[in-house]
């Protein structure tokens, strides 16, 4: 998932605002107690999310895929007064841990954490969004995008994680492609071809596709 050397990654982290004790705690607990801890956003991506939110100044953020709450806390920290983060996840086994982290963050008044299938929940949400972060099951990336793209306010952002998919997006001729890789390839091309947005694929961690609604 990391495409630069450990030494260069450490240099980047050493020259980025520090990961505070709460985020370090979430990272440690996730690696110790949760399956697939590589799904955690981590230091560089978390700070990128926080700064993007501060620059975009959204009133409403929708996060599809809470996991253990690291990315949600980073984005909630970037919100101005009155801003709201709605974060959705289907895994109720992590609920106690996640709610505990949100409480420790002191940002509970800004975070609306909902459990269930995002495909069912999103159509029930009122209003439009200014910022959407997609970081859930890859099979539904295109479905999530289609559900939100026309509900993004002009100038709003759709950000999708894992769009380099550990380098699997580079496919050799005749190579067999697994289902998730196929969806990621289709997602990237769909965004690239969508006249409603302008976009850039950022090689941060496992790849972030940033699309701005025109």
- Predicted local confidence at residue 174, as pLDDT: 85
Give the model confidence (pLDDT) of 131-174 as tens digits. Answer: 999 999 999 999 999 999 999 999 999 999 999 999 999 998 88
Any idea which architecture 6-213 has in CATH?
Answer: 3-Layer(aba) Sandwich (3.40)
Give the model confidence (pLDDT) of 94-138 as tens digits. Answer: 999 999 999 999 999 999 999 999 999 999 999 999 999 999 999
Q: Is the pLDDT of residue 1 over 90?
A: no
- Predicted local confidence at residue 41, as pLDDT: 93
Domain ranges of the chain: 6-213
Backbone angles phi, psi at 64, to 5 degrees: -105, 100
Q: Is the pLDDT of residue 30 over 70?
A: yes
Q: Is the pLDDT of residue 3 over 90?
A: no
Q: How far apart are CA 14 and CA 60, in angstroms?
A: 31
Q: What is the CA radius of gyration of the chain?
A: 17
- Predicted local confidence at residue 127, as pLDDT: 97
Q: Please give the structure tokens belonging to residue 36.
A: 């697939």
Give the model confidence (pLDDT) of 38-91 as tens digits. Answer: 899 999 999 999 999 999 999 999 999 999 999 999 999 999 999 999 999 999
- pTM: predicted TM-score of the whole model, two decimal places: 0.96
Q: How far apart are CA 45 and CA 48, in angstroms?
A: 5
- Predicted local confidence at residue 12, as pLDDT: 94
* Packing angle, helices 21-33 and 95-105, rounded to 10: 170
With b for 16 or more beta-carbon neighbours within 10 A and e for fewer, the 96-123 pattern comes to ebbeebbeebebeebbbbeeeebbebbe
Distances from the Cα of 160 to the Cα of 11, 157, 198, angstroms: 25, 10, 14
Q: What pairs with residue 157 in β-bridges?
A: 131, 212
- Predicted local confidence at residue 49, as pLDDT: 98
Contact 68, 36 (CB under 8 A): no
């Amino acid at each position: 998932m990391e495409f630069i050397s450990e030494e260069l990654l450490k240099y980047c982290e050493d020259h980025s605002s520090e990961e505070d004790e709460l985020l370090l705690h979430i990272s440690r607990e996730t690696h110790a107690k949760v399956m697939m801890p590589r799904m955690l956003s981590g230091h560089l991506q978390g700070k990128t999310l926080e700064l993007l939110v501060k620059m975009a100044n959204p009133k409403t953020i929708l996060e599809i895929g809470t996991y253990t709450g690291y990315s949600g806390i980073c984005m909630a920290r970037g919100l101005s007064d009155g801003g709201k983060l709605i974060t959705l996840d289907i895994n109720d086994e992590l609920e106690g841990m996640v709610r505990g982290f949100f409480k420790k963050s002191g940002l509970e008044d800004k975070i609306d954490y909902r459990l269930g299938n995002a495909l069912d929940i999103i159509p029930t949400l009122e209003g439009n969004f200014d910022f959407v972060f997609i970081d859930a099951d890859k099979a539904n990336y295109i479905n999530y995008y289609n559900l939100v793209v026309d509900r993004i306010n002009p100038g709003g952002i759709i950000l999708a994680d894992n769009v380099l998919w550990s380098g699997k997006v580079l496919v050799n001729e005749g190579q067999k492609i697994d289902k998730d890789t196929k969806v990621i390839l289709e997602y990237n091309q769909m965004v690239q071809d969508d006249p409603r947005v302008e976009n850039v694929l950022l090689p941060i961690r496992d790849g972030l596709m940033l699309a701005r609604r025109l």
